[in-house]
Chains A and B, each alone.
Chain A
């Protein structure tokens, strides 16, 4: 079996994963109609993603945390009250029964787990942000110091455990006093000593508490996700992966830090990214192995038009990013590359992938231009402006969708969606998006 898999082409591997997506193990459909609808919807997305012509243009409503405000609660409440989370997300599920897919509340993190480990990389409603704020937000910081590249490159896991995590998990502060776990060799004697430190022990207790809380949370998330699938809604995003440059720029060095490094220690950035890439690949493949849809979303941050020049993009961002993407493609996974901000100046290079292998999901990029440049080869997705969905009328939204569908939908390989997630606003504007694909998006 192992060997057979290795001998398959990337398209064959993808076909195998597609079959599994169509008949997900462990899911019992509510009725035969639901099963039929599930298969139709999954096929619609699969064909669009792989640059074929589906029955009609599929739509992924940009709901994000919308369920919370829609059901009269908020993200801050849903992060702590899983019954409220279920109620809100189920309401959206049942009220939008004509949607093409459904996004379960997996991105609503368990607030108590974050609190248990004293998480510092993010602020969330009621914890650094006012209770009614609609989203959580990353805290820019130099979580890795400029002179720590060598330690990261030598042993990323050790760096994470003893340097990075003690900074972003307040509860792990004392973990910086541990020795590398690789010191356990032969018969240990003094090796156990640091684990007798009460502060280290408190760190373990904290993450155990976070774990127990997360089990309660995943039960709630899983319940809603399974219900959606049983009703006939395939999920289309199984997990996330990041471009190595973003791991450095978002997670470790911070935007400011990584940009200084581009001038002061460019070689270290390259070495670090080469080290991070295989870790990103392995993480994404492990996630997909346990999920139904063979789809990984890569939210792209620090390579956008306004963050760096095209030359810097080609030098620092693109090579290891492409390497991660191609590794996923070669394993039969469909990467959705979500270009946050705009990618207008990147359109001449981002088409460099095998035909039908990846999906480019645009936020503010000129998608008509993107259709011209890469639309013959790759699926594109997006990009009804978030502001229009939040402040416009249903007629305006529908009209905008019509234009998108007519231009981008030509020849298949297009998915209608928002530019970014919509956190509140009139549900009629979301319904207008569904109405548009049904009215204008059918392929004859």
Chain B
């Protein structure tokens, strides 16, 4: 049943996966086991996205399926349960003056299914909020997202503020999104530019020493 469930979720079979979730709950299976299987299903979705088999619509829809599965399972979860061990922390956000979040959310999804604990600060994030979040989380990796050209300067200002706060040397900064490229990376003095969400994972893995 578990393997079916994982495959149905990965194959985005809405009706079947929800029916099976209800069935597993009814047969008193451990809800944590179901959630763990859901995570495995999402991991496959992430792999298929990375492999070019799935695209944004599949990611969006898998997210919706996960929400629906979670809604069915949640009332049956007791206690905190064992948390999945994460590789490490990453902070991401769209820089000040830019309210685009589609790319940002894909990056969050991909980092998450690849084992990272992601703090997503959302859009139009003021410089100070990035500084505070980096202090608070002590994450060694920061991802700056931006869609439009004004983000060039906002990224530069964010990196400068982190320098001023004495935090810059302890972290790697990657940028991506819309009109960003390696020219902008140089301009903003970030460490790396990633052209898509898979690149964000590869870069983060590299910095964490994950193969």
Contact = CB atoms under 8 A, between A and B. Distances in A.
A137 B99 contact: yes
Interface in B109-141: 124
A385 B56 contact: no
Given A263-B61, A387-B152, A140 B102 contact: yes
A177 interface: no
Q: Interface residues of B toward A: which range?
A: 20 to 34
Interface string B83-117: 00000000000001111111000000000000000
B81 interface: no
A424 B156 CA distance: 15
Given A307-B55, A308-B57, A309-B55, A390 B149 contact: yes
- In the complex, which range does the number of interface residues on chain A fall in? 35 or more
B56 A307 contact: yes
Contacts of A312: 55, 57
Nearest to B63: A256
Contacts of A128: 99
Nearest to B149: A423
Contacts of B54: 309
Interface in B8-62: 12, 14, 54-57, 60-61
A137 B148 contact: yes
A241 to B, nearest CB: 23
B56 A260 contact: no
B179 interface: yes
B64 interface: yes
A260 B183 contact: no
B149 A263 contact: no
Contacts of B152: 387, 390-391
Contact of B56 (A259, A263, A388, A420): A259
A387 B60 contact: no
22 contacts: A129-B124, A130-B96, A130-B97, A133-B150, A134-B149, A137-B98, A140-B101, A256-B60, A262-B57, A262-B61, A263-B14, A263-B61, A307-B55, A307-B57, A309-B54, A341-B178, A386-B149, A387-B179, A391-B183, A391-B184, A419-B179, A421-B149
Interface of A: 123, 128-130, 133-135, 137, 139-140, 255-256, 259-260, 262-264, 306-309, 312, 341, 385-388, 390-392, 419-424
